[in-house]
Structure 1
Amino acid sequence: MSDTASTHTARHSDGKRSHDDHSPLERKMSQAARERHDADIPSGIGYVLNEEDSADVEKGTTTTDEENDPNIVWWDNEDDPENPYNWSTTRKVLNCGCVSFQTFISPLASSIFAPGVPLVLQEFNSTSPEIATFVVSVYLLGFAAGPIVLAPLSEIYGRVPVYHACSVGFVAFQIACALAPSLNSLIAFRFLAGLFGVAPVTNGGGTIADMIPQKHRGTVLAVYSVGPLLGPIVGPIAGGFLSDAKGWRWNFWVLAIVGGFITIVMLFVMRESFAPVILQRKTEKLRKETNNELLRSKLDIGLSPSDFFKRSAIRPAKLFIFSPVVSITALYTSLTYGYLYIQFTTMTEVFQGQYGFSTNLVGLSFIGLGVGSLIGVFLYSTTSDKYTARKAAEADKIAEETGTEKKGMKPEYRLPLLPVGAVLLPIGLFIYGWPTQYKVHWIVPIIGTGLTGIGNILVFFSIQTYLVDAFTVYAASALASNTVIRSIAGGLLPLAGLRLYERLGYGWGNSLLAFIAILFLPVAYVILKYGETLREKYAIKNL
Structure 2
Amino acid sequence: MSFPPTPATPTHHSDLNSKESKTLDHIPTVQEEAREEHEQGALHPVASSDRRASSTTTLNQETVVTHGMEHRGVTKTSKGDKTIVEFEPEEGPKQWKNPYRWYCTFTATSLALVVSLGSSMPTGDLPGTAETLHVSNEVINLTVSLYVAGFGIGPLLCAPMSEVYGRRPVYIVSMFIFFIFTLPCALAPNIATILAGRMIAGLAASAPFCNVGGTVADLWATHERGIPMAAYSSTLFLGPCLGPLFGGWIGQKTGHWRWIYWVLFCFCFAAFILAFFTPETLEIVLLRKKAHRLNKQHKTDMYISKADLDRVPFRETMKIALLRPFILMSESIIVLFSFYLSFIYALLYATFFAFPIAFEEKRGWSAGMTGVAFLSICIGIFLANLVNWWQETLYARHAVKHGPVPEGRLYPMMIGAVTLPIALLILAFTSYPGMTWVGPAAAGVVFGFSMVTIYVAGNSYIVDSYSHVAASAISSKNLMRCLIAASVPLWINQLLHNLKFQFGCLLLAGIAVVIAPMPFYFFFRGDRVRTRAKRALKVEKKDVKVEGEGAV
1:204 aligns with 2:197: no
Report what 1:522 is aligned to: 517
1:141 aligns with 2:141: no
1:324-339 alignment, distance < 5 Å: 324-339=332-347
CA pair 378-289 structure 1, distance change in 2 beyond 3 A: closer
Do 2:248 and 2:367's aligned partners in 1 also have CA atoms closer than 8 Å? yes
- Quote the Cα distance in structure 2 between the aligned partners of 1:90 and 1:174: 33
Query: How far off is 1:38 after superposition?
Result: 6.9
Do 1:30 and 1:473's aligned partners in 2 also have CA atoms closer than 8 Å? no
Query: How far off is 1:329 after superposition?
Result: 0.1
1:66 aligns with 2:59: yes
Letter in 1 for 2:325: P
Report what 1:177 is aligned to: 185
Query: How far off is 1:60 after superposition?
Result: 5.2
- Quote the Cα distance in structure 1 between the aligned partners of 2:83 and 2:156: 30
C-alpha deviations, 1:305-332, integer Å up to 9, x for none? 12212123322222222x2211110011
- Quote the Cα distance in structure 2 between the aligned partners of 1:56 and 1:504: 51
Do 1:177 and 1:252's aligned partners in 2 also have CA atoms closer than 8 Å? yes
Q: Secondary structure at the match of 1:356?
A: coil
Do 2:77 and 2:83's aligned partners in 1 also have CA atoms closer than 8 Å? no
1:84-163 alignment, distance < 5 Å: 84-126=93-135, 128-163=136-171
Query: How far off is 1:33 after superposition?
Result: 7.5
1:387 aligns with 2:394: yes
Q: Secondary structure at the match of 2:430?
A: helix
Deviates more, 1:357-366 or 1:290-299: 290-299
1:305 aligns with 2:314: yes
1:424 aligns with 2:419: yes
CA pair 421-29 structure 1, distance change in 2 beyond 3 A: closer
Report what 1:192 is aligned to: 200
- Quote the Cα distance in structure 2 between the aligned partners of 1:435 and 1:443: 8
Letter in 2 for 1:123: T
Report what 2:547 is aligned to: none
Letter in 1 for 2:158: L
Letter in 2 for 1:508: F
Report what 2:85 is aligned to: 75
CA pair 435-326 structure 1, distance change in 2 beyond 3 A: same
1:349-498 alignment, distance < 5 Å: 349-382=357-390, 384-393=391-400, 395=401, 407-498=402-493
CA-atom RMSD in angstroms: 3.2
Structure 1 residue runs of 5 or longer lacking an equivalent are 1-21, 40-45, 396-406
CA pair 282-50 structure 1, distance change in 2 beyond 3 A: farther
Q: Using structure 2 for the length normalisation, give the TM-score.
A: 0.81
Letter in 1 for 2:476: S
User: Which of these residues, 226, 249, 258, is aligned with residue 218 of structure 1?
Assistant: 226
Query: How far off is 1:150 after superposition?
Result: 0.6
CA pair 183-345 structure 1, distance change in 2 beyond 3 A: farther
Do 2:84 and 2:303's aligned partners in 1 also have CA atoms closer than 8 Å? no
CA pair 372-56 structure 1, distance change in 2 beyond 3 A: closer
Do 2:27 and 2:467's aligned partners in 1 also have CA atoms closer than 8 Å? no
Letter in 1 for 2:58: D
- Quote the Cα distance in structure 2 between the aligned partners of 1:33 and 1:516: 35
CA pair 506-23 structure 1, distance change in 2 beyond 3 A: same
Query: How far off is 1:492 after superposition?
Result: 0.2
Structure 2 residue runs of 5 or longer lacking an equivalent are 1-16, 61-75, 538-552
CA pair 357-77 structure 1, distance change in 2 beyond 3 A: closer
| Length, aligned pairs only | 497
- Quote the Cα distance in structure 1 between the aligned partners of 2:56 and 2:317: 24
